[in-house]
Amino acid sequence: MIDPEVLAALAEAEQAFPEPALANRQQQRERINRMTDHMVERVGEPGPPVRSVADHTIPVAGGTIDVRLFHPDADGPLPALVYLHGGAFWQGTAVQPALDALCRERCAAGYVVASVEYRLAPEHQFPGPVEDCHAAVAWLAAEHAALGVDPERIVVGGGSAGGNLAAAVALLARERGPRIHAQLLEVPALDLTGGHLVDVGNGLMEDAIADLHAVYGTDGTPELASPLLAADLSGLPQALVMVAEHDELRGDGEAYVRALTAAGTPAQLYVGVGHAHPTMMFTRIFPPAKEWRAEALRWLGSVTAWPAAG
């Protein structure tokens, strides 16, 4: 059962921002982004202060993108987390309040955190967002000395569609480099054909899947669109996959952990009990959100710690 306060917050946000008739894609995107920010302001806690927040513009194929870099109050070389926001590949931003809080929290725990403003679909369709995100990781690795980053401890992470992109970047980097140390996949979508969705009482998702295919520009069969369908999952960075109990995408994450493990890639599963898809952001009103965030920090700490001496 989903927490009533969580349901109320979701319903209130929907009411505060009614969908306009005949909205075009850009208007829909702005509405959803504003609605999300409004909700997160009420249900999420802001992040802690960090030493510095700086925006960098980096070159990518056919243009540039922005990367927001959070630096903790510590001197490097430090482990780094490249974080990819969610939003079904066509919504969300790297600087939205929910991402800001999450990036600051992880930064304050001792990581250089990079939030990537990858170009969105449908203007930039598959594999454009994957390429942008890979370019951001490659940039961080190449500039590691100037940025105070330890290139041996770069973690790629993301939520929802960002989790999909993080897993795809890990696959791409296995072929092209740079070396990625670990991957943190939160409520990830890993099979865009919809083949691993579970029924959590919201009915079937056929319309949503069809819309996703049209917007993202892929039927979901390439492995960079659906990492779960990749023929070879060996030799990938160790993974923590965090799934929400009441989320259709839970099946994707569970199957990915099984597939990674079977391929010899170390993978752990965390099941957020009581959680729905977005509730890891609800740190102000929903105690399990804090447990979720603490689990991510615990795992990051364990995979980026140097082996204890002696």
Partner 1 sequence: MLDPVIAEFLATTPSVPEHLDLAGERRFLRLSIDLNFLRYGAPGPAVHSVEDCLADGVRIRIYRPSGEPELPAFVSLHGGGWYSGSIDEDVAEAIHRQRCVEGHCIVVAVEYRLAPEHPFPAGLDDVSTVLEWLAGNAARLGVDAERIAVGGSSAGANLAAAAALRARDHGPALAFQLLEVPALDLTGGHYDPALPGPPDIAAVVARYTDDPGHPLASPLLADDLSGLPPTHVMTAEFDPMCAEGEAYAKRLAEAGVPATVERYAGAIHGSALMARAWEPAARWQRAAGTALKDAFWPGEGISS
- Residues in touch with partner 1 (CB under 8 A): 1, 245, 268-274, 287-288, 291, 295, 298, 301-302, 305, 308, 310
Q: Which residue has the tokens 């099946």?
A: 251
Please identify, using beta-carbon distances, which residue of 4 and 201 lies nearer to partner 1: 4
Closest approach of partner 1 to the CB of residue 260, in Å: 14
The reply to whether 247 belongs to the active site is yes
The reply to whether 302 belongs to the active site is no
Please identify, using beta-carbon distances, which residue of 111 and 270 lies nearer to partner 1: 270
Residue 187 has a CB neighbour count (10 Å cut-off) of 29
Please identify, using beta-carbon distances, which residue of 2 and 208 lies nearer to partner 1: 2
Q: Which of 100, 132, 191, 247 is catalytic?
A: 247
Q: Which residue has the tokens 């540039």?
A: 64
> Helices 25-43 and 4-16: crossing angle, nearest 10°?
140
Please identify, using beta-carbon distances, which residue of 23 and 305 lies nearer to partner 1: 305
Closest approach of partner 1 to the CB of residue 23, in Å: 38
Q: How far apart are CA 88 and CA 156, in angstroms?
A: 18
Closest approach of partner 1 to the CB of residue 117, in Å: 32
Under a CB-based contact definition with an 8 Å cutoff, are residues 166 and 188 in contact? Answer: yes
Strands 238-246 and 149-159 come out as unpaired
E-state strands within 93-246: 112-116, 149-159, 182-186, 238-246
Q: Which of 85, 144, 196, 277 is catalytic?
A: 277
Tell me the residue type at 74.
A
Closest approach of partner 1 to the CB of residue 215, in Å: 33
The reply to whether 56 belongs to the active site is no
**Catalytic center residues:** 160, 247, 277
